Amino acid sequence: MEVRFIKPEEAADFLKVSATSFIWKFDEKVDDHVDTPVLAVFDNGKLISGLEAIDFECNYCGTSLGTIGIGCVCCLPEARRKGAVRALFDKIGEIALEQNWTLGFLHPFSIEYYEQFGYGHLNQLLSIHVPFVNLNHIPRNTNAVLYTGEQFEELSALHNKCVIMENLLTYRKDKKCFCDKPRENTDYTYFRRNEKGEADAYVRFTVSRPDTLTVEDLYFLTPEALFGILGFLRNYDGIVKELIIRRQYQGSAFSLIADRVSGEKYSWDGCMAARIYDIKKVLESNIYPDEHGIFRIRSLDKYEQNSGIFEVEYEKGKANITLLKDGKYDLSLEPHAAARLLLAGEGHTAESAAYLNGVHLNNSADDFFKAFPHRPTRFVDSF
């Protein structure tokens, strides 16, 4: 089998495989190109499997990390169970460093299936439902501006300021990241300016009358900015009954507001899985405690850059990381477990981490768990 990125003229072949895998209608007149790079497996010259490889940059403790978003993983039914998908993920691991992919993300149909490729369960996202009639304690206002594309620099700058506030949020530096034709697409984005004239919050939403206003994106810099943009949304309470904020988590800022609103409901909104392709880069980017600490992680990864024992000695927020080939260690981690403990921001202890698949503790590893406390963490981009 040959694994490589497809050529433009091979896009239709990839889309045919996707259509056959996921049972969607293929149209030869329309389905002849893809907008993202596609990594594919060829068997005797025939494309049998592939995936979309989407470049991102995401925030991790204030550092921008190169990221691959993996979408549309597909394989012809008659070619399954022959190692084609594994060949794709092996190739990603081989080229990750040269492509500047420190992290990988995907939407898993099965956590257990993707663990075999080193992807661990990360975000469990929620949609929060609130009756508009119960938001009367939030002052209504009209202080928002419709985004039409002309304000791209302002909106992009605002978004990328918000990114720093939560781990794994992705930077948006391309106009394609925002909808600039709201009336044509019934997809509206409004942003708020504060008393200084500075943009400090924005919201992207759709409306399904007479039932719901669904917020796809909600970003803000301060509590005042959040209440301000929510107050603007209250102007729609005459045409819809319910406000839904998507892709939240228990303990997010909006969940803290919704918790005191009667009639609020939570529904599952999917999850993400992640893999680390450069553990040393993640360890170097982490923000450490001021007090001195030292720990050793044995990484059970097959990729050379991630294989061995990482000794981390930290103090005053920084750390020195040394890769050792052998020796004593505090805990060993399989790749999917490393992703969860280092990235998810759950704030585990030795007691809770002992229940995670792929984690083996030799001791309490106190200095390790102090270095990875609970942190606001959310990967929400779709692909």
pLDDT for the residue numbered 6: 96
As a whole-number percent, the residues of the chain with pLDDT over 70 amount to: 100
For residue 207, give the nearest of 177, 238, 229 by alpha carbon.
238
Residue 143 makes CB contacts below 8 A (sequence gap 6+) with 192, 193, 228, 231, 232
Q: Per DSSP, what are the bridge partners of residue 121?
A: 273
Give mean pLDDT, residues 262-276: 94
Q: What would the 3-class secondary structure string for 129-191 be?
A: EEEHHHCCCCCCCCCCEECCCCCHHHHHHHHHHHHCCCECCECCCCHHHCCCCHHHHCCEEEE
User: Within 10 A of 260 (CB to CB), how many other CB atoms are there?
Assistant: 9
pLDDT for the residue numbered 323: 96
How far apart CA 322 and CA 310 sit, in angstroms, is: 6
Q: Per DSSP, what are the bridge partners of residue 359?
A: 333
Residue with tokens 């089998």: 1
Are 227 and 254 a contacting pair, CB within 8 Å? no
pLDDT for the residue numbered 30: 87
Reply yes or no on whether the pLDDT at 353 is more than 90.
yes
Is the peptide bond prior to 210 cis by the omega test (within 30 degrees of 0)? yes
Give per-residue pLDDT as tens, 128-157: 999 999 999 999 999 999 999 999 999 999
Are 371 and 295 a contacting pair, CB within 8 Å? yes
DSSP 204: E
* Burial of residue 28 (number of CB atoms within 10 Å: 0-12, 13-18, 19+): exposed
How far apart CA 152 and CA 175 sit, in angstroms, is: 7
pLDDT for the residue numbered 32: 87
Please give the domain boundaries of the chain with CATH numbers for all domains.
Answer: 2-106 (3.40.630.30), 126-268 (3.40.630.30), 278-371 (3.30.1050.10)
Pairing of strands 63-75, 199-208: unpaired
pLDDT class of 382 with cuts at 50, 70, 90: confident
Record the tokens describing residue 179, joined without a space.
């909808």
257 Cα distance to chain centroid: 23
Helix (H) or strand (E) holding 233: helix 223-233
Q: Is the pTM of this model over 0.85?
A: yes
As a whole-number percent, the residues of the chain with pLDDT over 90 amount to: 94
DSSP 212: E
Reply yes or no on whether the pLDDT at 262 is more than 80.
yes
In one-letter notation, the amino acid at residue 295 is F
pLDDT class of 381 with cuts at 50, 70, 90: confident
Concatenating the DSSP letter of every residue in 295-315 gives EEEEEE-SSGGGEEEEEEEEE
pLDDT for the residue numbered 204: 98
In one-letter notation, the amino acid at residue 22 is F
pLDDT for the residue numbered 283: 98
Reply yes or no on whether the pLDDT at 123 is more than 90.
no
Pairing of strands 293-300, 188-193: unpaired
Q: Is 262 helix (H, G, I), strand (E, B) or coil?
A: coil
Pairing of strands 63-75, 145-146: unpaired
Reply yes or no on whether the pLDDT at 300 is more than 90.
yes
Reply yes or no on whether the pLDDT at 124 is more than 90.
no
Give per-residue pLDDT as tens, 216-259: 999 999 999 999 999 999 999 999 999 999 999 989 999 999 99
Reply yes or no on whether the pLDDT at 62 is more than 90.
yes
How far apart CA 159 and CA 136 sit, in angstroms, is: 28
58 Cα distance to chain centroid: 8
DSSP 78: G
Give per-residue pLDDT as tens, 4-60: 999 999 999 999 999 999 999 988 888 889 999 999 999 999 999 999 999 999 999
Write the CA distances from 310 to 96, 298, 302, 326, 336, integer angstroms: 19, 6, 15, 10, 16
